Structure 1
């Protein structure tokens, strides 16, 4: 399973705090990206946790924060990580309110947690998920090969195949009739 915002919040070394969007923490994270652009949307693909310090944002302007958060959410950004102790001692209230209104998860990143640590945690979780998938695929291939060579007939092979694809499997003859 790919990493989720919840898995990052529960990561023992990151010390992230949820400030908004608590109901959407089970959202998968495809990548973590750092950007201080006022509009990073052209550079996003969707599924990202965007990490910011808000150097270039007008965080006192409630409407500007609404537009910013709305653009991020519309672009498919799954969460916003805000570093406190860099430019701001706390997340600006206008940003918290905008994230809350939009339902976009907003994570407070403490000063002692570098963005790189979050990126590495996301990358490691994605790699582990991919490794599990590849390993499961190889194991399925081995099991199906053993079943094909066992001489127990196509029924056993089809049953095993169906269990691996979490569905059904059928064997057809040359005329298209189910055997």
Structure 2
């Protein structure tokens, strides 16, 4: 399962706090990206946790924050991480309100949590998911090879049906069923 905003919030080393968008924490995070551009949208693909310090934003301007957050939401950004203690001691109310209005998850990043730690956590979770998929693929291949060598058509079809969580059937040249798995197939 890909990392989600909730899994990052629950990551004990990151110490992230949800400030808005609590109802959307189950969103998968495809990547974590830091950007101080006033408009990072042209460089986003969707699914990112965007990390900012608001270096080039007037985060206290309600209308500017509504436009900024709306564009991020339209671009498919998964959430926004705001580092406190850099340019702003706390997340400005204008940004919190805009994120809440848009339903965009807003995470407070404490000064002691480097953006790199968040990026590494996302990367590690994505790598673990990919490793699990590769490992499962090799296990499936071993099982299917074993059945092909010694289990006959019925054993191979049963193993295949189990791997795809469905059913499998073997037909002869005339279209007649030779074997099927599971029995109800």
Corresponding residue of 1:161? 160
State the distance in 1 between where 2:16 and 2:34 align: 16
State the distance in 1 between where 2:56 and 2:135 align: 44
Aligned positions of 1:104-119 closer than 5 A: 104-119=104-119
TM-score (norm 2): 0.92
Q: What is the CA distance between 1:149 and its match in structure 2? A: 0.9
* Structure 1 position 170 matched with structure 2 position 169: yes
State the distance in 1 between where 2:68 and 2:174 align: 60
Corresponding residue of 1:99? 99
* Structure 1 position 10 matched with structure 2 position 10: yes
State the distance in 2 between where 1:39 and 1:104 align: 16
Secondary structure of the residue aligned to 2:170 is coil
TM-score (norm 1): 0.95
Aligned length: 178
Q: What is the CA distance between 1:172 and its match in structure 2? A: 2.5
Q: What is the CA distance between 1:177 and its match in structure 2? A: 4.2
Name the CA shift for 1:172/1:118 in 2 (closer, same or farther; >3 Å). same
State the distance in 2 between where 1:43 and 1:58 align: 21
Identify unmatched segments of 5+ residues in structure 2: 179-185
Corresponding residue of 1:144? 144
Q: What is the CA distance between 1:62 and its match in structure 2? A: 1.0
State the distance in 2 between where 1:160 and 1:64 align: 57
Aligned positions of 1:41-80 closer than 5 A: 41-80=41-80
Deviates more, 1:140-149 or 1:158-167: 158-167
Secondary structure of the residue aligned to 2:117 is helix
Identify unmatched segments of 5+ residues in structure 1: none
Q: How far does the alpha carbon of each residue in 1:23-79 deviate from its partner, in whole angstroms, 9 at most, with x for none?
A: 111111110000011110100011100000011112122121111111111111001
